[in-house]
Amino acid sequence: MVDSSVSRRFPIIHLKNRRTFTLFTTKILPIAHAGGMSANPQLKNARLRITLNHLRVARYPGSGIHHILLDFSARNQVQGSAEEALHFNMAFRGYEGEAVATIGYPIFIGLNVGPDGVYFGCKTVNVQNDDDQKFLEFLDSEVFKAGLRLVSTLQPAIAPLTGVAVGLTKSIAQRHQNVSVQEFFMGLDFSNDPTGARLAEGSYLAVQIPQSEQLIWDWDEWQFDRSSGLVVNKENPSQLIPYNYIIFGVTKYEGA
């Protein structure tokens, strides 16, 4: 079982100097808190491409293969219009103690950023109910693999799609044997608030660290190994971070 006390403790961390997995000559990337870096003002009122770059299943309820439902949420801030609430579902399979085989998986394409920043969230559900596992197979279709594509104007079709995604996640999370494991909500802004998080292009790491360990946790002891795509200990690179985590990428979108 997963200790319920760790279910929602997600410091938001930024991988320094990160744009894509292929543009770097260094193997190791340092890790910094997202509140301690500078925002990129060029992203104000811009559009973003949000991708799922890594999902580590360090400790989920049960054992063996895990069927995981992800619900991503955001606010689409179209200039001159009301905000659109967005939800988008994905489903993956991963083994206990390993990472899901995914990198650069599109979530939101063309997400509109407001003058104050962007809002983003994610919830994962460990699906153990056999009937629900079969039901999730439809999320493996090419339609869902393409991500949620947005334009620079409001889209009437988004609201019903979001409603379906919210209802699906809520229904499955409450079903017998299924367990909500991770959940975080965050705002990335352009302010100097030391307790907030800044918006810049790069990769953001959300780690499920227990509350009891956050005071003694030192990110200087950890780094991102680009060759393996894993967060590892600096002194002992064979030691993996022992908690569930999600890495998602943020890049400026230049499309139509």
User: Residue 205 pairs with which residues in a beta bridge?
Assistant: 13, 247
d(CA 200, CA 43): 7
Residue 124 in 3-state DSSP?
A: strand
Q: What is the per-residue pLDDT for 9?
A: 42
User: Residue 71 pairs with which residues in a beta bridge?
Assistant: 89, 123
Sequence spans of domains, the chain: 4-252
Q: What is the per-residue pLDDT for 162?
A: 60
Residue 221 in 3-state DSSP?
A: helix
| Sequence-distant (≥ 6) Cβ neighbours of residue 171 within 8 angstroms | none
User: By the 8 A CB rule, do 77 and 112 touch?
Assistant: yes
User: By the 8 A CB rule, do 28 and 224 touch?
Assistant: yes
pLDDT at 190 over 90: yes
Q: What is the per-residue pLDDT for 26?
A: 61
**Residue 186 vs residue 79, higher pLDDT:** 186
The Cα diameter of the chain in Å comes to 52
* pTM for the model: 0.79
Residue type, 222: W
Q: What is the per-residue pLDDT for 82?
A: 72
pLDDT at 41 over 70: yes
Residue 205 in 3-state DSSP?
A: strand
pLDDT at 61 over 60: yes
Tokens coding 97 = 């103690």
Confidence of residue 17 (pLDDT cuts 50, 70, 90): very low
Q: What is the per-residue pLDDT for 149?
A: 67
Confidence of residue 129 (pLDDT cuts 50, 70, 90): low
Least confident residue range of 69-73, 124-128, 184-188: 124-128
Confidence of residue 14 (pLDDT cuts 50, 70, 90): low
Question: DSSP letters along 87-113, please?
Answer: EEEEEEEEETTEE-S-SSEEEEEEEEP
Closest to 206 in 3D by CA, of 47, 52, 60: 52
Beta-sheet strands, E only, within the chain: 12-15, 28-29, 31-33, 47-57, 65-76, 84-95, 98-99, 105-112, 117-127, 148-149, 179-189, 197-198, 202-207, 222-225, 230-233, 245-252
User: By the 8 A CB rule, do 5 and 209 touch?
Assistant: no
Confidence of residue 5 (pLDDT cuts 50, 70, 90): very low
Q: How many residues does the chain have?
A: 256
Q: What is the per-residue pLDDT for 51?
A: 95
pLDDT, one tens digit per residue, over 191-228 is: 998 889 999 999 999 998 888 888 888 888 999 998 88
